[in-house]
Amino acid sequence: MRHQPTPAQSAASVSTDLFRNRLDAQIDLRHSLCKLSAVMPWDAMAQRLSSLLPAEPKAGGRPALSLRLMCGLLYLKHAYNLSDEALCERWLENPYWQFFCGEVFFQTRFPCDPSSLTRFRKRLGEAGVEELLAQSIAAAKELNAIKPADLSRVIVDTAVQEKAVAYPTDSRLLEVVRKKLVRLALRCGITLRQRYEREGPTLRRRAAAGYTHARQFKRLRRLLKRHARGFVWPGAAWLGRAARSRGPALHRDQAARLDPA
């Protein structure tokens, strides 16, 4: 895919500008980002990532932004834990960040919209992110920032993984009680007249997701109030009916155990 050259590669940056000073003449080149920028294999990384990015459209159009700029922004975003908007603001204020991304002169305008970072991450994909991570680790090894022994163990924080959390709503708890009650009755060998296997989940979805999704909060409050009082709502009536249907059978079982004759 065709990309714009970085300012450090363009012919205009090689010539001396009488009205602007170069960034490398204003900043301390002993800074950590300057050292990391010197060891990062930007050209090799651009060649490897070019094969992972989509091909150039036939209609042509404006060339994409340089890969060094986008990869540098992606590294700074994760290194400093910033959002796309905050990254753009910090980039305009920090000359070291601009030098790390390949700029030659200090820039007063961000080269792209923050939404371009989101599209670049989607185009890069998982393989591209793994390549960036591998190159960052290799550069850290070359700078002696990390030791090979530090990479022998990986610590994974499970707090950032997606979890199926079931919130204990009233309708959900009532359906759980119905299932456990039916399971207990079957375990005791009691035959129920009706198990409500279809009606129970249907009404649970209608109460939990239907009214809430449609923002019908008055109906939802009315439904929950009936549930709390245990009156007309079918779920509460079913539980009471199921309990009453298994109650006499349990009493008969207990009486048979006490008096086998």
pLDDT value of position 229: 46
Are residues 29 and 89 located together in one domain of the fold? yes
Q: Is 156 inside any structural domain?
A: no
Please provide the distance, in angstroms rounded to a whole number, between the alpha carbons at the two ends of the chain.
90
Same domain, 146 and 208: no
Q: Is residue 82 part of a domain?
A: yes
Cα-based angle 40, 41, 42 (whole degrees, multiple of 5): 95
In this structure, what are the phi and psi dihedrals at residue 17, rounded to the nearest 5 degrees?
-95, 120
| Contacts with 47 (C-beta within 8 Å, 6 or more apart), sequence order | none
Return d(Cα 91, Cα 77) in angstroms, integer. 10
Q: Are residues 167 and 209 in contact, defined by beta-carbon separation less than 8 angstroms?
A: no
| In-domain check, residue 197 | yes
132 and 15 in a common domain: yes
Give the residue from 48, 85, 88 showing the smallest Cα distance to 68.
48
Of 8, 32, 23, nearest in space to 108 by CA: 23
Angle at CA of residue 104, ends 103 and 106, nearest 5°: 80
In a domain, 159, yes or no: no
Do 175 and 138 sit in the same domain of this protein? no
Answer yes or no: is 105 within a domain. Answer: yes
pTM over 0.75: no
pLDDT, position 249: 57
Q: CA torsion, points 5, 94, 39, 125, in degrees to nearest 10?
A: -60
Same-domain status, 139 and 190? no
Digit-coded pLDDT (tens) for 219-260 = 767 666 655 443 333 444 555 555 555 555 555 555 565 555
Asked if residue 158 is part of any domain, the answer here is no
* Residue 174 domain flag: yes
Q: What is residue 34's predicted lDDT score, i.e. its pLDDT?
A: 84
Residue 79 and residue 146 in one domain: yes
Does 163 reside within a domain? no
Last residue of a domain, one of 81, 115, 150: 150
CB 100 within 8 A of CB 6: no
Q: Are residues 20 and 143 in the same domain?
A: yes
Q: Tell me the per-residue pLDDT of 135-170, one tens digit each, with 9 for 90 and over.
A: 777 777 777 777 777 777 777 776 666 767 666 666
The answer to whether the CB of 8 falls within 8 A of the CB of 104 is yes
Q: What is the full per-residue pLDDT of the chain (261 aa) written as tens digits?
A: 444 555 555 545 545 566 777 877 888 888 888 888 887 877 777 777 777 666 665 566 666 677 778 888 888 888 888 888 888 888 888 888 888 888 888 888 887 777 888 887 877 777 777 777 777 777 777 777 777 777 777 777 766 667 676 666 667 777 787 788 788 888 888 777 777 677 667 666 666 666 665 667 777 676 666 554 433 334 445 555 555 555 555 555 555 655 555
Instruction: From 99, 117, 150, give the residue that closes a domain.
Output: 150
Q: 107 and 186: one domain?
A: no
Sign of CA dihedral 119, 120, 125, 129: negative
**How many structural domains is the chain composed of?**
2
Residues 102, 58, single domain; the answer is yes
Domain match, 124 and 181 both: no
How many residues would you count in the chain?
261
Tokens in use for 123? 């185009």
Range of the domain at 219: 170-258
Quick one: 201 and 113 in the same domain?
A: no
Q: Are residues 139 and 235 in the same domain?
A: no
